[in-house]
Amino acid sequence: MEGSERVPLGNKAARVDGAPDKKELEALTRELLTQLTDLQDAFHADGRHSLLLILQGRDASGKDGVIKSVYGAFNPTGVRVAAFGPPTALELRHDFLWRVHQVVPPRGMIGVFNRSHYEDVLAVRVRKLAPESIWKERFEQINHFESMLHANGVVIRKCFLHISQDEQRERLLSRLDDPRKNWKFRVEDLDDRALWDDYTEAYRDVLSKCSTPSAPWYVVPSDEKAVRNYLVAQMLVDTLQALHPTYPSMQPAVRDAARNFT
């Protein structure tokens, strides 16, 4: 059995058996978000690292939802959100890492990518936008790129928001009925659903080939939004706490100047 086949991405894996109920999870998540607010302040002051969360997932898997619900806890000044749609004409004339490299968060900042360079081994592969000889090389290129970022202070975490086929169906249908959401749909979004199994295979390769100690992938069961938000928030709290962010000391010259302060 190849490594990639062992990654469980069936419909069952989109739920957590025996999870606490929604209300309890939401209360736990609120506590985590308060911790995130405090941790971010120290992380920004500390300035040794940046944090980059990469969100991938099928349509309606909750990428926007995570950014709104979890990243909403952060002070907007310290946050950089980048969303990657189909590449522009200019972006296509560059290597596939060019556009993401430009928006990697600088030290002190907390970034999130809504889709990312992983689309170049997902959509590009499944929709046959580049030959296999091209995209097959990219797993290693991505690992080298992320490893370089890690060595330069970027803490990388990657979440695949995993939903079941039934849940996606429900969400897409309800979005199509919602005038605040249905304007966003392109016909291609619906096409992707027909390619479900091809995407599963592509995701399995991503998860098995590009999960490294310095930039691990997390498969987040995402059929229940409360579970999803709780798990992402908990992972971010753990990640930030492990860095032990500390406030720098006041410059001695400031203390002197403050003595004469009127």
Which CB, 148 or 190, lies closer to its own copies?
190
Q: For residue 76, is it left (φ>0), alpha (ψ between -120 and 50) or beta?
A: alpha
Which CB, 148 or 176, lies closer to its own copies?
176
Type of residue found at 89: A
Query: Contact at 8 Å (CB) between 190 and 117?
Result: no
- Cβ 227 to its own copies, closest distance in Å? 21
Which CB, 107 or 136, lies closer to its own copies?
107
**CA angle, corner 241, sides to 81 and 7, nearest 5?**
70
**How far from chain centre, in Å, is Cα 116?**
9
Which CB, 133 or 262, lies closer to its own copies?
262
| Residues within the interface to its own copies (CB under 8 A) | 41-42, 45, 64, 67-68, 71-72, 74-77, 79, 81, 83, 112, 114, 169, 172-173, 176, 179-180, 182-187, 190, 193, 247-251, 253-255, 257-258, 261-262
Report helix angle 187-194 to 165-176, nearest 10. Answer: 160
Cα 43 from Cα 123, distance rounded (Å) = 34
Residues 159, 170, 70, 21: is their CA dihedral positive or negative? Answer: negative
Which CB, 113 or 145, lies closer to its own copies?
113
- Cβ 46 to its own copies, closest distance in Å? 10
Which CB, 77 or 133, lies closer to its own copies?
77
Of the candidates 181, 177, 166, the one whose C-alpha atom is nearest the C-alpha of residue 65 is 181
- Cβ 183 to its own copies, closest distance in Å? 4
Cα 203 from Cα 160, distance rounded (Å) = 9
- Cβ 191 to its own copies, closest distance in Å? 8
